[in-house]
Amino acid sequence: MRRAIPSKGEGLVAKPEWLARLPERVFFPLVESVNRCKLIPLVRQGDRVRLGEPLAEGEALVVHASCAGVVESVDTLSISVRCEPPANHNPVPGKAHGHEDLADFARDAGLVGMGGSLFPSAIKFKAATKIDTLVINAVECEPGIQIDEALLLYDADDVQAGLDCLAGALGVRRTVLAVKRASAGHLAPFAARCKADVLRMNNRYPAGAEKLIVARLTGRMPPAGVLPMSLGILVISVASLWAIGRRLRLGEPVMWRPLTLTAPEHPVRNLIVPVGTPLRHLLEVYGIPFDPQTHLLVTGGLMMGAQAQPETAVTKGTNAVFVNPLAVRLTKPEDPCILCGACFDACPLGLHPSGMAERIKAGKASAALSAQLRECFLCGACSAVCPSNIPLAQYFREAKAKGVR
């Protein structure tokens, strides 16, 4: 029997607010594993930088200062900037006229996949040569996250400016707004103003996965290894469109990260935060206590997110920050698999999680295991329903990182 993981939010969607106080320092990773391309620093220790000034660049990406200040350190791993009150900052608005301009526009703006992938948009846009349908992914199926809905409700002008730019540059014939069924009503006005068809997805996790959206849109699951762009479909996050819109309307590069902040006994906040802000600063500004012995700090969602530390910096892919009580099941060792089949029922792609994990633990590589690992998008639904507390998704994540074949 398939077990549903509900993702319908409760209560009103909070209006986005700018972070109340600048952090003392911001940090920018330079490692290729994070940025998906090699970056070369453009600044040295002691340099004074302006808000929005380039700090590092690569073939597909430019990294910009999210505050004015002084460069405190530069090495092969990161750049740190000590923040000061912003100086005058009047960049020239960027423009994108056609497909060839779009990749350069994305690179110079520092645009990456802000749905969480961090993949440089310049590479993605360059490959998007025959796109017929543009899909706005506003499903936001991770429980507790609402920042995309907040942007569509309260910052619609910026999102629409990004949408118009991208749709025009790619010459798409159809625009689709993918949303949860529970959100379709209050997001209908945005769809109407953008002349977008509404694609209603189920109110359960992981309905917002790109592959599942394409399957609902086309009526069939994309074949293994086939990207949506090969089918003439480009899926893009709301936050990415918002960032494109601000680049066009205000000239800003991608230096802000809209995110949802959730903690027990505190109101849910939708914030716009300078990229590179340490999580500790967010918790201090909003009076949220954190004890690593009793709390779990997570970035990116309770299902697909990663455990973080207070010193962890917000990246362009950080769509949420959660402070949750440490669940007892997370402190217990895993039990033997009881072959109940719950993980198989939970997998949206029909993979065999328990069998995959057994092969990984036994070191028995095979063509079947390799094929299933390539398809798995680490949604974690299998781990969530496992009565034996087996961290299945963690096994798959580590196997992918090691290149298990």
181-216 residue pLDDT tens: 999 999 999 999 999 999 999 999 999 999 999 999
Dihedrals phi, psi of 9, to nearest 5 degrees: -75, 160
Same domain, 121 and 243: yes
113-126 residue pLDDT tens: 999 889 999 999 99
Same domain, 120 and 244: yes
- β-bridge partners, 134: 175, 234
pLDDT in tens, the chain (405 residues): 455 677 755 568 999 999 999 999 999 999 998 999 999 999 999 999 999 999 999 999 999 999 999 999 999 999 999 999 875 556 666 666 666 699 999 999 999 999 988 999 999 999 998 999 999 999 998 989 999 999 999 999 999 999 999 999 999 999 999 999 999 999 999 999 999 999 999 999 999 999 999 999 999 999 988 999 999 999 999 999 999 999 999 999 999 999 999 999 999 999 999 999 999 999 999 999 999 999 999 999 989 999 999 999 999 999 999 999 987 766 788 999 999 999 999 999 999 999 999 999 999 989 999 999 999 999 999 999 999 999 999 999 999 988 765
> 255 in a domain, yes or no?
no
Identify the CATH number of the domain in which residue 114 sits. Answer: 3.40.50.11540
Going by the DSSP 8-state scheme, the letter that residue 236 receives in this structure is E
Same domain, 104 and 246: yes
Same domain, 222 and 346: no
In three-state secondary structure terms, 35 is helix
Other beta carbons less than 10 A from residue 266's beta carbon:
14
Same domain, 240 and 370: no
Same domain, 244 and 362: no
Cα separation of 179 and 200, whole Å?
A: 5
For CA atoms 282, 163, 122, 62, the dihedral sign is negative
Same domain, 346 and 212: no
Single residue among 222, 250, 278 that ends a domain in this structure: 250
> 350 in a domain, yes or no?
yes
Domain count within the chain: 2
Cα separation of 133 and 373, whole Å?
A: 28
Domain with 386, as residue range(s), is 342-402
> 111 in a domain, yes or no?
yes
Same domain, 107 and 243: yes
Residue-by-residue DSSP string for 285-347: HTT----TTTEEEEES-TTT-EE--TTPBP-TT--EEEEEE--GGGTSPPPPP----HHHHH-
> 201 in a domain, yes or no?
yes
Tokens of 1: 């029997």
Single residue among 250, 266, 286 that ends a domain in this structure: 250
Single residue among 215, 250, 285 that ends a domain in this structure: 250
